[in-house]
Amino acid sequence: MRVLPKTITVTRRGFLHGGAVALGAAAVAPAALGAPAARGLARTFSVFGEAAATTLLRMARDVFPHDRLADRYYADALRPLERAMAKDKALAALLRDGVRDLDRAATARFGAAYAALPAEADRVALLETIEATPFFQKVRGDMVTSLYDNKAVWPLLGYEGSSWEQGGYLTRGFDDIDWL
């Protein structure tokens, strides 16, 4: 169990400085912050290709939105799908056609490719229209396993891991509700 200190370690000056930095960061568009990292990661996908990988990375972030997770965790979760695509021609066609159709729908509706749309609400609206398709179900199904099975992601999401090795949750703070 993780024990958090109950003492305040932030000074007034540190709080004000952190707030000023946060305001400066918030003034920059969120899409502009993640774009270079996503493009760099997309170049590492040889089977998908850079354009498809960029779309799939943006799609993965929209389907599983975790602001605390860096793009590299989403890229790591897409790698098994890329390996499977290299071996299976039907899967390759499904993914290529799905990305192409998603980009076409985005361009027809909003005038830009899916990954280039700045508004998350617009991207989610597009995903809602394709959520019953085999393409969406395949990407979502593989991503849920690949993303949440990554032990490096667990602490970022607040999950402390398996408890059976330590005797279960009951003896590890399960009933610790001192925050009430």
Please give the pLDDT value at position 172: 66
Instruction: Share the mean pLDDT of the chain.
Output: 82
Please give the pLDDT value at position 58: 95
Give CA–CA dist 101/112, Å, rounded. 13
Type of residue at 42: A
Q: Is residue 79 part of a domain?
A: yes
For the cut 70, the answer to whether the pLDDT of residue 31 exceeds it is no
Q: Is residue 176 part of a domain?
A: no
Q: What is the pLDDT of residues 57-102, one digit of tens each?
A: 999 999 999 998 999 999 999 999 999 999 999 999 999 999 999 9
Q: Is residue 166 part of a domain?
A: no
Give the number of domains in the chain: 1
Q: What is the pLDDT of residues 38-66, one digit of tens each?
A: 667 777 887 888 999 999 999 999 999 99
Q: Is residue 24 part of a domain?
A: no
Q: Is residue 113 part of a domain?
A: yes
Q: Is residue 74 part of a domain?
A: yes
Q: Is residue 59 part of a domain?
A: yes
Q: What are phi and psi of 158, to 5 degrees?
A: 90, 10
User: Whole-prediction pTM value?
Assistant: 0.72
Please give the pLDDT value at position 161: 78
Range of the domain at 124: 29-157
Q: Which residues contact 29 (CB under 8 A, 6 or more apart)?
A: 118
Q: What is the pLDDT of residues 3-13, one digit of tens each?
A: 556 566 666 66
- Closest to 66 (Cα-Cα) out of 157, 135, 173: 157
Q: Alpha helix (H) ranges present in the chain?
A: 12-27, 30-42, 50-63, 71-87, 89-110, 120-130, 134-148, 154-157
